[in-house]
Structure 1
Amino acid sequence: MGGAVEPDSRSFIAALRGVANLAEKERGKQAETGLVKVESLRRVMEVEATSKLGDITALDAFLASALVDSYAKCGSLEDARRVASKMEPRHSIASLNALVSGYAENGKPRLAVELYRWIRESYPELLDVRTMLAGLKACGSLAALETVREIHAEISRAGVLSLSSSSSSRSPTSSSSSSSSSDGGALATSLIDAYGRCPHAQLCPLELPGIISRGPKGLQSPE
């Protein structure tokens, strides 16, 4: 009989997705840093220990992103930050997106917004639909109208949505390959939700015609 087959990154990613699903059902325990899904966290650590062959930077971007997302869903933002911060940003935008979402979902919206802005200022070419969705999620928690406006303008520049009556006549931008109907729908919904949570949102000069019909601290340890 042959030797045992070594699991590859896809196997580890599948395992992490399974743990993340379990974490959503686990009640968890309250800690100083927030609600921690202890049993699920233990399993994620086991997967990382098995998959990590030496330096964490050897992990591929998809596995790193899955680890960040899983740690965040278990309530361990410190571990999520640790994994994301050791990856080269240019090769791990998915990990950073997962960390932005993790901060927003675990009661750290200010860190989420700060990390979003760091990505936008340091690596503007890396911004994608998921980055914008993660940023909008954080803005909704903070009722941060100015940041919602910034992300709205970023979406407009990227051509992900038709944000004005004239934009539909323009040629697609180079980033239009990522603007599928599902992406556009998700962004439209997130924009409406984020604006709706902001005081005086009706005063925003950026409108959403066709979408609605009516009026780097983030990489530091979370506090």
Structure 2
Amino acid sequence: MTTAIRGNHQRLLSLTQLLTSYVRHGRNHQALALFSQMFSAPDLALDAFAFPLALKSSAALGLPRAVASLHSHTLKSGIFSNPFLASSLVDAYGKCASIGDARQLFDESPQRNAIVWNAMISLYANSKDVAGAMELFQLMDVPPTEASYNSIIAAMAESGDGLIPAIAFYEKMRLAGLRPNLITVLALLPACVKLGSLNSIKEIHGYAIRISIHSDPHLGSGLVEAYGRCGSLIYARQIFDETTNRDVVVWTSMVSAYAFHGDAGNAMCVFRRMESGGVVPDGIMLLSVLKACSHAGLAGDAVRYFEVMTKEYRVETGSEHYSCLVDVVSRAGRLEDAYEIIVKMPVRATATAWGALLGACRKYGEVKLAEIAARELFEIEPENTGNFLLLANTYAAAGRFEEAERVRRELEERRVKRAPGSSWVLSRRDFACGHPRGSDAELEKGADPNRIQRYKQFDGAYNSRRRSKREEEN
């Protein structure tokens, strides 16, 4: 190797390391700019290591044309057949173009090893297409790896099918002689939480202990959340105490578990311990703290912590944080303060925020703010009948029955149908259910439609007024 060639090789290596650093830290614009300089340099022959990095940045920025251009260059340079590069192309197309484009590229790939297969299976799984992922899994002409199984298990766990298919596939993985790893366990936990299956969580926890991954902070936070959601705060706290090197995610999981069960005292105690330990809270922790304050009715603490986290810790806040703060303050009866928070929000107020204010106005009899909140809600979600009913109830509770009647008429004019409850009614041995077209069904059967009992959810004062009005008319 000549001195010039050796120098070019060393330069390519150094630039590729810098490119890797840019991509790893999310500096994707800088990464693509550097790659462009490298590509334009006549004395540098880019290899199959630089292109995947550029593809990753292009996908992160949502640049399908850049991906297509890179694809074209790999074909011209003759490195497209590299399986590592092919898997990167499949992944990039799937993330910023379409799964169809990725599948076409996958089908045209000359050499498909397990990495390429896993990239395509992962795309199907991440798009929640369990059937597509399973179909491709069955077509694999190379032995599946742990990553192949993990993608399917994660997709099953997140789908409506839930835990049982995911567990079955987990058992299939073990029978195939593959060892479930940390990713497998983390994928199974959400399904256990959805089913509220405490025994399944214990089994997974036991397996994690047997393969010595139970001390991992990621698993620790997952187990704390899983045990907490399934009602076992004792186990959650035990896992929390045993987890070493606790990061903000682990601390947040414990605070969230206490907040979920309304134990604001322990939630705030854990949060203060985290603060004293020098761990910086993030946006998810702020949300957990606000929810804990909401359950305990600690409006003052909620406002104080919100200000501390946003001003001192520079926590980025979004609509969910403000909506939760509005809910806490509204529940405490501080309706003007809640309205002021909504007005001063740096983001557009959501239906959740206005709904919290409207519900509190109904509780505390504040008509003026209820009207303001209702107007906003009618615009944001015009099909939500609950907003009309809350406003009507607020009017009725204040004795303003004419306005309550007007809202009811407006509701009927918009032809908005309330989704019925699941209550069943027996009247004179006739069964009636709350189907929205129940009366039509009865008419079709020739039954008396008057036997179908309909109920309004207006409060007692409004219903009483309506009954009195009917009696006067009769």
TM over 0.5: yes
**Is residue 134 from structure 1 mapped to residue 192 from structure 2 by the alignment?**
no
1:188-203 to 2 correspondence within 5 Å? 188-198=220-230, 200-202=231-233
Contact 2:128 / 2:159 at 8 angstroms: preserved in 1?
yes
Q: Structure 1's 49 and 191: CA in aligned 2 closer, same or farther, altered over 3 A? A: same
**Is residue 108 from structure 1 mapped to residue 166 from structure 2 by the alignment?**
no
Letter in 2 for 1:112: A
Alignment length, in residue pairs? 169
Could you say what the CA RMSD is over the residues aligned between the two structures, in angstroms?
3.1
**Is residue 41 from structure 1 mapped to residue 99 from structure 2 by the alignment?**
yes
Contact 1:80 / 1:99 at 8 angstroms: preserved in 2?
yes
With normalisation by structure 2, the TM-score equals 0.32
Q: Structure 1's 154 and 61: CA in aligned 2 closer, same or farther, altered over 3 A? A: same
Structure 2 distance, partners of 1:80, 1:194, is 26
**Is residue 119 from structure 1 mapped to residue 173 from structure 2 by the alignment?**
yes
Question: Which structure: larger Rg?
Answer: 2
Match of 1:79 among 132, 145, 155: 132
Using the TM superposition, give the Cα deviation of residue 95 of structure 1 relative to its aligned residue in structure 2, in angstroms. Answer: 0.4
Q: Structure 1's 117 and 193: CA in aligned 2 closer, same or farther, altered over 3 A? A: farther
Structure number having the greater helix percentage: 2
Identity of counterpart residues, as a percentage?
Answer: 22
Contact 1:93 / 1:126 at 8 angstroms: preserved in 2?
yes
Deviation readout 1:86-142 (Å, 9 max, x if unpaired): 44896412101011111223333232232223324x146511111111112322232
Deviation readout 1:10-68 (Å, 9 max, x if unpaired): 2222123324433xxxxxxxxxxxxxxxx6221222122112x5xxxx73222221111
Q: Structure 1's 130 and 47: CA in aligned 2 closer, same or farther, altered over 3 A? A: same
Letter in 1 for 2:108: T
Structure 1 distance, partners of 2:186, 2:209, is 14
Could you tell me which runs of 5 or more consecutive residues in structure 2 were left unpaired when the two chains were aligned: 1-74, 244-249, 259-474
Could you tell me which runs of 5 or more consecutive residues in structure 1 were left unpaired when the two chains were aligned: 23-38, 163-183, 216-223
Q: Structure 1's 96 and 88: CA in aligned 2 closer, same or farther, altered over 3 A? A: farther
Which protein has greater RCO, CA pairs closer than 8 Å, 6+ apart?
1
Structure 2 distance, partners of 1:89, 1:132, is 24
With normalisation by structure 1, the TM-score equals 0.63
Structure 1 distance, partners of 2:237, 2:171, is 20
1:87-98 to 2 correspondence within 5 Å? 87=140, 91-98=144-151
Structure 2 distance, partners of 1:139, 1:59, is 34
